[in-house]
Amino acid sequence: MSVRYSSRLGYGFIVKRREYRELSNEKFHEFQRSLYAFAIDAWDPDNSTYFFGLMICHADPSEYFMVPPVTPYSHEKLMEMIDEYKSFFPGKESYMPHSYVLSCVD
């Protein structure tokens, strides 16, 4: 088996291991199955840092992408993602998503 790498641009939240480990076992599995949860290190998803949000662009090694001037998602999709994030992590100080460039192990 070979390791694959990619770079991605996403808009959302970084979820560290200690944060999702505080979820109940049932909530953690629900979190992992979410359409918005993405293990940055897919080789070890139970211990990876996660990105929770909307993926905008993807590039494999030696490829590139142009960063769009306006993020290509609807307001409804953005609010759906934020609401789901709030359901997993209630009581956070801020629910303001950010843009992230992710260096991923696929």
Q: Are 58 and 106 contacting, i.e. CB atoms less than 8 angstroms apart?
A: no
Confidence band for 33, pLDDT divided at 50, 70 and 90: very high
Residue 71 has pLDDT above 80, yes or no: no
In the predicted model, what is the mean pLDDT of residues 79-102?
92
Structure tokens at 25: 């076992």
| Higher pLDDT among residues 66 and 9, named by residue | 9
Distance CA 87, CA 74 (A): 20
Average pLDDT for 80-102? 91
Q: What is the pLDDT of residue 1?
A: 59
With the CA atoms of 88, 72, 44 and 29 taken in that order, what torsion angle do they form, in degrees rounded to the nearest 10? 30
Q: Quickly count: other Cβ atoms within 10 Å of residue 72's Cβ.
A: 11
DSSP-assigned states of every residue in 58-79: EE-TT---PPPSS----HHHHH
Q: What is the mean pLDDT of residues 21-46?
A: 91
Q: Please tell me which residue, 12 or 70, carries the higher pLDDT value.
A: 12
13 burial via Cβ count (<10 Å: 0-12, 13-18, 19+): buried
pLDDT in the model for residue 11: 94
pTM value?
A: 0.87
